[in-house]
């Protein structure tokens, strides 16, 4: 990779602070570190900027927490991909960690997407109708609401809805809509988040379909490549996981209570005066929707070993119970929004074409999926920075076997494979000139089926099977 001296090298420019007094401060040589935080379960970007100051900027500018921040970051030799917040700037909202020593003061600025602040300042009291995806687009672009000019990644949804917002913040309304949205692929697993590319309202399935953004391996420092002048092999170093930890590996107690294995949903139809009951089963419905691996080889992260002597983990459907009401007719249309349609002289019929609240189709599966991603197989890792990697990306991770190898495999067959990045922290350090990333990654399936001990795995009684 000619032009790059070491893995994690970056170029930062246009680091400017636009103050409320109209003064523009160039901080290219004043900053010590810049951090950007992404999270697919968070609605906006946040970050921190650590500044070394010899000009008493906080008082002289002054800096009050009402500023705007611009910057541009790229990797040498990669011109068409960059982190660019010069057109869509960040908003500074807090100053902390002020420490002075011998004429020099270090302080830290906290910044976020300005859309987050607009969301906190505005509320929506109006009615919308159309596809949920169209409604979300209107909310985000409305100049009296979020008023974003950033790139939007909004996935199409099924059904025509009539939504009334009772004085809600825009992002609160959009989060509510994720629970009722169903994609054209039939998936209810919508997430609403922002990463360095833009703002996303889309299904997890669409994230999985993007394919892998890179391959990483937990290994020692890259080998010396003498054919390249005796320097570290940068391509290998970019693939190396600098450090990792198993953050979570199946919290069975919490997964039972959250309904990941089994649940019951009761839907009361207030129009037809009846109710419907649906049950969720982790093992039976495991392949209903796409998984992180993209369908290459998907097996549950639990097996069907007996519990309570005669059952498996998904047999207890009352572990979690959901109940909600709806109002729909025999044609599955929303009776809350009937209108009178003339069909003859002095005769009208009540008709509707709106899709009713039908959370019975989404709530159990959405809750189970959220639990899988939060309490399933989660690995935190540190890698050399790469601006093509971000929250929402899929990566391939290889975990070498530690200790005695009894299978002959080179890598852990359960904890290697494709992982979804749910959180990412980009750290740009000016002293070392190195971009480092800290990732929280998850997977919701294994590449190989877990062995099932059958009756031999039953709970012992009195110390004996």
> Which residues lie closer than 8 Å to 402 by C-beta, 6 or more apart?
none
Q: Which one, of 371, 338, 355, 325, lies nearest residue 182 by Cα?
A: 355
pLDDT over 80 at 85, yes or no: yes
pLDDT over 80 at 1, yes or no: no
In this predicted model, which residue has the larger pLDDT, 122 or 6?
Answer: 122
pLDDT tens, 181-204?
A: 999 999 999 999 999 999 999 999
Highest mean pLDDT among 137-151, 300-314, 337-351, 395-409: 137-151
CA distances to 6, 127, 166, 258, 438 from 390, rounded to whole Å, are: 20, 35, 35, 28, 10
Confidence grade of residue 101 (pLDDT, cut at 50, 70, 90): confident
Joined together, the tokens standing for residue 307 give 């519990």
Q: Which one, of 297, 280, 319, 304, lies nearest residue 453 by Cα?
A: 304
In this predicted model, which residue has the larger pLDDT, 311 or 2?
Answer: 311
364-381: average pLDDT: 90
Q: Report how far residue 287's alpha carbon sits from residue 432's, in angstroms, rounded to the nearest whole number.
A: 46
pLDDT recorded at residue 353: 79
3-8: average pLDDT: 78
pLDDT tens, 8-50?
A: 899 999 999 999 889 999 999 999 999 999 999 999 999 999 9
295-315: average pLDDT: 83
Burial 318-332 (b: 16+ CB within 10 A, else e): ebbebeeebbbbeee
pLDDT recorded at residue 343: 63
pLDDT recorded at residue 222: 45
pLDDT tens, 107-125?
A: 999 999 999 999 999 999 9
Q: Report how far residue 40's alpha carbon sits from residue 38's, in angstroms, rounded to the nearest whole number.
A: 7
Q: Which residue has the tokens 């000139």?
A: 433
Using alpha carbons only, give the angle 26, 32, 38 rounded to the nearest 5 degrees. 95
pLDDT over 70 at 440, yes or no: yes
Confidence grade of residue 223 (pLDDT, cut at 50, 70, 90): very low
62-73: average pLDDT: 95
Give the CA dihedral 175, 381, 205, 41, nearest 10 degrees: 0
pLDDT recorded at residue 403: 61
Q: What domains are there in the chain, each with its CATH number?
A: 117-205 (3.55.50.20), 206-250+370-454 (2.40.30.150), 253-368 (no CATH)
pLDDT recorded at residue 345: 67
pLDDT recorded at residue 97: 86
How much is the mean pLDDT over the chain? 88
pLDDT tens, 271-288?
A: 899 999 999 999 999 999
422-439: average pLDDT: 96
pLDDT recorded at residue 450: 85
pLDDT recorded at residue 226: 40
């Amino acid at each position: 990779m000619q032009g790059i001296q070491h893995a994690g090298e970056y170029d930062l420019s246009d680091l400017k602070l636009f103050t409320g007094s109209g003064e523009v401060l160039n901080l290219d040589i004043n900053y010590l570190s810049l951090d950007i935080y992404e999270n697919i379960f968070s609605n906006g970007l946040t970050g921190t900027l650590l500044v070394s100051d010899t000009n008493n900027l906080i008082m002289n500018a002054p800096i009050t927490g009402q500023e705007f921040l611009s910057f541009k970051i790229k990797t040498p030799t990669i011109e068409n991909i960059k982190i660019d917040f010069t057109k869509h700037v960040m908003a500074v909202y807090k100053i902390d960690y002020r420490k002075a020593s011998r004429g020099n003061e270090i302080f830290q600025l906290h910044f976020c997407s300005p859309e987050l602040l607009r969301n906190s300042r505005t509320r929506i009291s109006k009615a919308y109708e159309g596809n949920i995806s169209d409604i979300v687009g209107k909310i985000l672009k409305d100049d009296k609401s979020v008023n974003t000019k950033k790139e939007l990644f909004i996935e199409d949804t099924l059904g025509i809805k009539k939504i009334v917002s009772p004085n809600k913040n825009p992002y609160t309304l959009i989060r509510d809509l994720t629970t009722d949205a169903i994609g054209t692929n039939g998936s209810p697993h919508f997430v609403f988040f922002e990463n360095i590319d833009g703002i996303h309202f889309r299904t997890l399935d669409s994230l999985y379909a993007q394919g892998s953004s890179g391959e990483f391996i937990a290994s020692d420092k890259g080998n010396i490549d003498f054919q390249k002048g005796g320097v570290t092999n940068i391509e290998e170093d970019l693939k190396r996981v600098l450090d990792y930890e198993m953050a979570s590996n199946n919290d069975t107690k919490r997964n039972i209570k959250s309904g990941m294995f089994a649940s019951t949903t009761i839907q009361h139809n207030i129009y037809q005066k009846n109710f419907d009951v649906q049950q969720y089963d982790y093992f039976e419905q495991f392949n209903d929707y796409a998984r992180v691996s993209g369908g290459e080889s998907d097996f549950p992260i639990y097996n069907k070993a007996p519990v309570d002597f005669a059952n498996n983990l998904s047999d207890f459907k009352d572990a979690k119970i959901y109940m909600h009401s709806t109002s729909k007719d025999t044609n599955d249309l929303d009776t809350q929004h009937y209108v009178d349609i003339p069909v003859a002289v002095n005769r009208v019929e009540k008709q509707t074409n709106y899709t009713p609240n039908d959370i019975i189709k989404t709530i159990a599966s959405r809750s189970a999926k959220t639990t899988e991603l939060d309490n399933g197989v989660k690995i935190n890792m540190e890698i050399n920075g790469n601006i093509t990697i971000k929250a929402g990306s899929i990566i391939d991770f290889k975990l070498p076997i530690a200790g005695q190898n009894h299978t002959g495999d080179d890598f852990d067959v359960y904890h290697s494979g494709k992982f979804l990045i749910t959180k990412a922290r980009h750290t740009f350090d000016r002293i070392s000139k190195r971009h480092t990333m800290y990732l929280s990654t998850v997977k919701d399936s294994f590449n190989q089926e877990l062995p099932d001990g059958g009756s031999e795995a039953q709970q012992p009684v009195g110390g004996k099977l």
